[in-house]
Structure 1
């Protein structure tokens, strides 16, 4: 297997996060650090390669459901059941801003590529865009086309991608104001751009991943075998776009060849009931997964003795 196709295949470290149930795990922009979101209302910053806890951020009123780091690693944005979006100073732990306006829990957050705004998606069916450069606390834009809960939001260049339980993905082109909607056929719990921005990977409640052409909406491939019928289960691309991965309700992470659609590996989480969140390193074969109160770091055999 070529180095670019090396995949995470073995457990390098299991971290007991000690923050109740871990709702999401996320690598930061360069993959040196990561965040875990807990049912104990906290966000924790880690060096996962060494298993070191660097900081705990407390201020949410209820469970934290998602967190992302800014492009320069100076900020963390988080959201949760308290209907708010919070901004944190990474180094000091200070809470800088709290944005309110959603009518229900906030499922997801995402910075734009310059980290000048943060976007949030909610059960209220809206995506709200908050300006980080001004002192205003009202959103500068509200995208409310979804007819059900917005589950994920991501940004690639000039485009915003959302997934919703109303069975649609939506792409907003910020250059010309164009909206492209694509009906997937099942409630969409996760959607992400490929590294080259040409494809979209979707996860649904129908236990299927679909690879879609971004421009035409054509289905290019489908990946099955995992289980995602009752919970939001995330999916992602590998760092080189050669494979796609998904958590599962049966305690495994499934990995398929992107083009062939064939299952190439299953990563077992012993004693686990569901693997619901995962995050692939942006440039190397490392994978983070969340299950119960733990965060698992997976690496390839090539990285076994790599002192990161």
Structure 2
């Protein structure tokens, strides 16, 4: 039986508002968090140590982060429509990427870190060449009828979720766009490790496990609350989900039943980050807390 043990909240001068995103580096030793206070913080969570703050360069909330494999740089995006590439050590901005007309909700790099894919409230997906200094995207594709909530790059495919109720698969090589419809806004998305399935979190408080090959819904998970805020989902051996009422849910992957339901705090859990060692994870919430958890 898997047990989730809440250890401690990360201390120090942390975020002064909702925590929107947490991302571990490849080693699992460090992580970055981004918040509605426009601040990005570098942490060493296992020792409860804050390393550095990157403060208020964005004009509005930080919505997503990506860390380069060698940790020398990271990428942030924001409700201010901008995407910034940072030098981790100095805190300097190396490059500014602009092109979306509204809030940028999600960013993702391909495996060789040569391109950034971004998804926005403007319903467009844009692809940016990191090897070029051009201010124009390689491609700009209007995908959905409503805000794009998440983009995931996998080989030559981009998986895209939208508040219009669809998850889209964009095959860049073939120029093909397919979609799976859920009749409710999809506010978050995660890909399985074998790339054969994905989980999509809807605004009807249901998570769907979907076969990528044919779009069949293999399982549904309900019990958590997601009707208004962006809440977190994460693959593990089961599925993890945050909830608007402050609970953390662990679902049985195959049966769809609730294995564990733990009260974290009184505010919505907005982000979950699994450590690469699969032994610990972090949650961030709307009341500014980042919580460190053990998996037993």
TM-score by length of 2: 0.94
1:86 is matched with 84
Tell me: CA distance 1:162–1:135, structure 2 relative to 1, closer, same or farther (3 Å): same
Q: Does the Cα contact within 8 Å between 1:25 and 1:278 map onto a contact in 2?
A: yes
2:34 aligned with 1:40, yes or no? no
Give the superposed CA RMSD: 1.4
1:275 has 2:272 as partner:
no
CA distance in 2, matches of 1:13, 1:138: 44
**How many aligned residue pairs are there?**
292
Q: CA deviation at 1:74?
A: 2.0
Q: Give 3-state SS (helix, strand or coil) of 1:49's partner.
A: helix
Which residue of the partner structure matches residue 224 of structure 1?
Answer: 222
| Aligned counterpart, 1:300 | 295
Q: Distance in 1 between matches of 2:83 and 2:190?
A: 21
1:113 is displaced (CA, Å) by 1.2
- Do the aligned residues in 2 keep the contact of 1:200 with 1:213 (CA within 8 Å)? yes
Inter-partner Cα distance in structure 2 for 1:97 and 1:159:
25
> Pick from 150, 153, 157: which aligns with 2:148?
150
2:173 to 168, 175, 178: 175
Kindly indicate whether residue 282 of structure 2 is the aligned counterpart of residue 288 of structure 1.
yes
CA distance in 1, matches of 2:180, 2:190: 14
Correspondence 1:209 to 2:203: no
Is contact 1:189-1:234 (8 Å) kept? no
Instruction: Quote the offset at 1:156 in angstroms.
Output: 2.0
Cα displacement string for residues 209-239 of structure 1 (whole angstroms, at most 9, x for unaligned residues): 000000100000000000001111121101x
Residue 27 of structure 2: SS of its match in structure 1? Answer: coil
Q: C-alpha separation between the residues in 2 aligned to 1:267 and 1:29?
A: 28
Q: CA deviation at 1:247?
A: 0.6
- Confirm or deny: 8 A CA contact 1:37 1:64 kept in the other structure: yes
SS in 2 for 1:276: strand
2:50 matched residue in structure 1: 53
Residue 29 of structure 2 aligns to a residue whose secondary structure is: coil
Residue 177 of structure 1: how far off its partner (Å) = 2.4
Distance across 2 between alignment mates of 1:152 and 1:11: 28
How much has 1:196 moved relative to structure 2? 0.3
Q: Which moved more, 1:190-199 or 1:177-186?
A: 177-186
Deviation at 1:86, TM superposition (A): 0.6
State whether residues 278 and 288 of structure 1, in contact with CA within 8 Å, keep that contact through their aligned partners in structure 2. yes
Q: Secondary structure at the match of 2:46?
A: coil
Moved more, 100-109 or 26-35: 26-35
Are 1:133 and 2:152 matched, yes or no? Answer: no
For residues 103-118 of structure 1, the aligned pairs below 5 Å read 103-118=101-116
Moved more, 23-32 or 81-90: 23-32
The equivalent residue for 2:60 is 62
| Range 10-19 or range 242-251, more displaced | 10-19
State the distance in 2 between where 1:19 and 1:87 align: 23
Contact 2:15–2:39, Cα closer than 8 Å, also in 1: no
Partner residue in 2 for 1:73: 71
Three-state SS of the structure 1 residue aligned to 2:194 is coil
TM-score by length of 1: 0.91
